[in-house]
Amino acid sequence: REAGDTEPLMDEDTFRENFSQELKPHKTYLCYEVELQEDDAWIPVDEFKGFLRNQPRCHAELCLLELIPSWELDKERHYRVTCFISWSPCPDCASQLAAFLGKNSHLSLRVFASRIYTKFAGYETGLRQLQAAGAQITIMTSEEFEYCWKTFVDHQGTPFLPWDDLDKYSKMLSKDLKGILQIDQQKSSKSNELGAGPVAQAVRAPCS
């Protein structure tokens, strides 16, 4: 469903039920937008903006990957896809997103997650693999929640009201995510110190 003039926006209750960190819904919502790089600026491409949720046998991230080819983005230009997602990608989705980025150098990806999905073993490895593929992965803060509220929610002019302990949850989850991703950052730092020889290439290999 697109966040446009002819398609409905997300209703307020759906947004709060799925993005509030203190709740644990058994579904995933993903809001997305696309920007085109013009020199040093990023220009919104409003026709490619909307939200979707997971479907039977298709997680929300994979639904997005199925949608992107229909946009027919110019491979001679550079685009940035930003996702605001209620759960961070599972290991399989993270792997497929990483593979997609590897095959589409004209795209970069930013992922802002409300929570960290820890149900499946290997979720840490999946997130590190996605980061190594060039994606920026961050926990949503009040700034991102308010942006989503204004951009993707049918708020009827009602301002965004943060839920209890939003900042506490965001700080706690940000610390957890930093701990997960820090391992690869340390590897990257070591590889830079080693230079471009065979040893450095061996250090980088698991992150490719």
Take residue 186 and report the two structure tokens written for it.
């340390």
Residues in CB range of 95: below 8 A, 6 or more apart: 126, 129, 130
Q: Which of 172, 201, 204 is nearest to 185 (CA)?
A: 204
Between CA 78 and CA 87 the distance in angstroms is 27
**C-alpha atoms less than 13 angstroms from C-alpha of 38 in its C-beta half-sphere:** 6
Catalytic center residues? 61
Query: 197 vs 92, 188, 203, 205, CA distance in Å?
Result: 32, 14, 10, 12
Take residue 101 and report the two structure tokens written for it.
């980025």
